[in-house]
Chains A and B, each alone.
Chain A
Amino acid sequence: MLLLTGINFSKLVTMETINSAIRIIVLLGLGFPLLLFLCTLAGKAAKKRFTPQAGMLIRKGIFYFGSILLLISVLYQMGFKLTALLGAAGIAGIAIGFASQTSVSNIISGLFLISEKPFAVGDLIKVDDTKGTILSIDLLSVKLRTLDNQLVRIPNESLIKNQVTNITRFPIRRFDINVGIAYKEDVSKVRNVLLDIAKNNPYCLDEPEPLVLFLNFGDSALEFLFAVWFVKTDFFKLRNSIMQEIKERFDAEGIEIPFPHRTLYTGSVTEPFPVKIVPSDAKKQKQRS
């Protein structure tokens, strides 16, 4: 109250200040709804013509640009000198720029990601050890929902720097299975059995044709690559069913899947390994009696 007594309100509230206040109210009252309307309109149009990410980007760009224009207009109406303000803003800009290098880098990376389109919302991607479905592609980061339902935020900068695998970009994929069989087995029979498994599995595509490649004479097994094509949505069904079918069918056909084993060889000129025969417990008891 004491402070207010010293102020001359008749000098403070002039016609000019009232006019400025009215102009500010009109600017904000009309400017903001108009800006929001423009953002929505441009966002929708861009979403239709381009991608949802481009729509979001254009919407936010218009919003931030319009907001800055509104703020400058309001400050001008309040009597601030714009030249001084812009000078101060330049100095502040340098300071903020230094402080927000990472954010700016993420924003620029985000722009590259949006223009390059290596993935879209809904794709399943793998970044380092993280695998998940893309929930959103924002200016600073990409948000993933992992297969065990966790949210992972990956900064755009790391997506630009690191290798990203888009698992579901194409409608069909190939599932590779390494199969090892014992040396004694008939290779042609194994090949035919594997192709028959693929033929009867409902999730394997007939074309592109399944592939059986004889890869190697391994340490413990003859090594094959069994590759089948499937529709990307059938991955878990195919993986579960075909692995089980291979095991069951190999068992039924008497095809051995060997464990790793080692043969110890002392050389032709060396003495054989000494072998000591130990009688079983039952034999020991008989001998005692």
Chain B
Amino acid sequence: MMDIWNRSKIGSGDILRSQIGPLLLWFRKIEDELHIAFERLPEPDTIVDATGPAAVNGVEPEGLDWGRWIVGDETNTFQVLPIMPDRPVVVHPELPVKIPTGHQALFFVSIPVWLRAIAGEKKPIELCEVPVLILSNTWFGDPMSGQLCYSLRSRARRQIKDSEPNPSRAVCPVKIRNTSPRQLNIERLCVHVEHLKTYSGDKNLWTNGVTITFRGEDQVSKIDYSRERPAFEPISEMLSEARVPIKESVLKRSIGSFKFFSGM
């Protein structure tokens, strides 16, 4: 499955097509220009197919919105890589989760990736980025000083074997520790995905792990981003670096257990 992330060759006049879940990617080389277009399939949540770039024997579909990049005559390869979204993702578990004081729990959150197209090999040129799935916007924090995030409904699985591999989503292992004196009620969880790398596993795409230590409603949480590869299945390689690399643990508000009212 993971050969979809390999580098592909494209010659002048070629038209290639690749599919990552609900997103079709079209590549066309005309002289020194590389053209890229995207097409979204309906019912995006149900599509888990993935194919690497392959020549299209026929007429390309009409109405594609092509973008043009001047990459030079000598650039005849390109690569598509998964990368985490550009903003934090607020995960809403389908059922609110409660963690008693002194306990911890590991969740596997499946996050839709973005795709980054890169041309060339020796001096790679970043061409564009596109989300596989368009997530709705949400606000995390109070209306005066919060943060714009993407919203994601999730089952917040406890076992990875329960989930079907999906090439358009990366599994993020999130461990939550409740060190506060009260029971932790999780209605929303803000995952700062901009600090996460993506890895290619045997079946799934993975990110490095996140450990959130909850210390109380009135205190910020301690967030640790693992530097190790995820150990839940064999990992073949790291596919992309974090957008905003981070070395030390950070203190941020990341768990929401109350709702903000609309101000009426």
Contact with B151, one of A170, A207, A210 (Cβ below 8 angstroms) = A207
Contact with B143, one of A170, A203, A211 (Cβ below 8 angstroms) = A170
CB-nearest residue of chain A to B260 = A208
Bound CA–CA A176/B21 (angstroms): 37
- CB of A41 closer than 8 Å to a CB of B: no
- CB of B137 closer than 8 Å to a CB of A: yes
Contact with A211, one of B138, B139, B264 (Cβ below 8 angstroms) = B264
Interface size on B, residues (CB 8 A): 20
Interface string of B141-185 (1 = CB under 8 A from A): 001111010010000000000000000000000000000000000
Contact with A203, one of B90, B137, B260 (Cβ below 8 angstroms) = B137
- CB of A224 closer than 8 Å to a CB of B: no
Bound CA–CA A229/B144 (angstroms): 13
Q: Smallest distance from the beta carbon of A18 to chain B beta carbons, Å?
A: 66
Q: Which residues of A contact B137 (CB under 8 A)?
A: 202-206, 231
Interface size on A, residues (CB 8 A): 19
* Structural contact, A174 and B260, CB atoms closer than 8 A: no
Bound CA–CA A24/B74 (angstroms): 69
* Structural contact, A206 and B136, CB atoms closer than 8 A: yes
Q: Which residues of A contact B148 (CB under 8 A)?
A: 171-172, 231
* Structural contact, B139 and A205, CB atoms closer than 8 A: yes
- CB of A227 closer than 8 Å to a CB of B: yes
Q: Smallest distance from the beta carbon of A161 to chain B beta carbons, Å?
A: 27
- CB of B262 closer than 8 Å to a CB of A: yes
- CB of A126 closer than 8 Å to a CB of B: no
* Structural contact, B134 and A202, CB atoms closer than 8 A: yes
Chain B CB count within 10 A is highest, among A208, A211, A213, for: A208
Bound CA–CA A203/B136 (angstroms): 8
* Structural contact, B136 and A202, CB atoms closer than 8 A: yes
* Structural contact, A229 and B139, CB atoms closer than 8 A: yes
- CB of A185 closer than 8 Å to a CB of B: no
Q: Which residues of B contact A171 (CB under 8 A)?
A: 143-146, 148
Chain B CB count within 10 A is highest, among A203, A207, A209, A231, for: A207
Q: Which residues of B contact A47 (CB under 8 A)?
A: none
B residues whose Cβ falls under 8 Å from a Cβ of A: 90, 134, 136-140, 143-146, 148, 151, 188, 259-264
A residues whose Cβ falls under 8 Å from a Cβ of B: 170-172, 174, 199, 202-211, 213, 227, 229, 231
Known A206-B137, A207-B138; further 10 A-B contacts with Cβ < 8 A: A171-B143, A171-B144, A171-B146, A199-B136, A203-B137, A206-B136, A207-B139, A207-B140, A208-B143, A208-B261
Pairs across A and B, CB under 8 Å, 7 listed: A170-B144, A171-B144, A171-B145, A172-B139, A206-B137, A207-B260, A227-B262
6 smallest CB-CB distances across A and B, nearest first, come from A206-B138, A206-B151, A211-B262, A208-B260, A207-B138, A205-B139
